[in-house]
Amino acid sequence: QVQLVESGGGLVQAGGSLNLSCAASGFIFRTAALAWFRQTPGNSREWVASIEATGATNYKDFVRGRFRITRDDVNSVLHLRMNTLKVEDTAVYYCNLYRYPAGWGRGTRVIVST
């Protein structure tokens, strides 16, 4: 059973940084393509960044150059370093398998203030 536990969210001023983490279990982490998603009230969950098992990464345009996705295959943890945060980045952030999302975790809330 896939389990995903996100952490690291919080309140930060615009221009600040946060590090999100996702502890994963229930699947072979090191072979999985993984991703971060986010959701704001009234909107669908959207893809933010992904990382292949090879380490190749891809980013949505609105975060490219500001966010960095990394993976720790030893400890089965996915990370998202978020820099130069904008008010528009305010959302609940989730991790999951990239191509075949499993059950969603509770997410971690990020609030960016002016």
pLDDT tens sequence for the chain (114 residues): 999 999 999 999 999 999 999 999 999 999 999 999 999 989 999 999 999 999 999 999 999 999 999 999 999 999 999 999 999 999 999 999 999 898 899 999 999 999
What 8-state DSSP symbol labels residue 27?
S
CB 22 within 8 A of CB 35: no
Task: Report residue 61 as tokens.
Answer: 């345009």
Residue 60's SS3 state is coil
Parallel, antiparallel or unpaired: strands 57-59 and 46-51? antiparallel
Parallel, antiparallel or unpaired: strands 10-13 and 108-113? parallel
